[in-house]
Structure 1
């Protein structure tokens, strides 16, 4: 069974256990997001005004338990077993 975990404000939570959770710009369920190539914001070339900006970092949008999060993908873990 596929499980997707995210570290949100220091707590690891299982995103796939929340039926209302969505990930990505297209707001897919965690399982569908993973199956459809797990897209993240990660431009190959950043505009010069974003080179030294927090806004230019790689990220994933997550909606979890009524809150919207923007996290770096390193705070995601995928467990398939």
Structure 2
């Protein structure tokens, strides 16, 4: 069974697994390794400031030499 990691980057859904240079997560691993090794996200336990985007949950993604910080709700996993 193949696993594909998709993300909505700036309004366009892309298959991150199809880019051999794509890296994601705090360890900057390939999308499939990121998924297999627990799919870690940045999620602060306590919010230092109430009203700021900097304290929101996110996943760091480097896709086609561009860096993204996206909310985990914009990631989908497909098993085929």
User: TM (normalized to structure 2)?
Assistant: 0.94
> Structure 2: which 5+ runs fail to align?
none
Distance 2:50 2:3 in 1: 35
The ranges of structure 1 where at least 4 consecutive aligned residues each deviate by more than 4 angstroms after the TM superposition are none
Counterpart position of 1:60? 59
Correspondence 1:27 to 2:28:
yes
Counterpart position of 1:18? 19
Count of aligned pairs between the two proteins: 79
Counterpart position of 2:71? 72
Root mean square deviation, CA, Å: 0.8
Deviations 1:28-72 (A, max 9, x none): 10011001100001123222xx22101011100000001000000
> Structure 1: which 5+ runs fail to align?
none
User: TM (normalized to structure 1)?
Assistant: 0.93
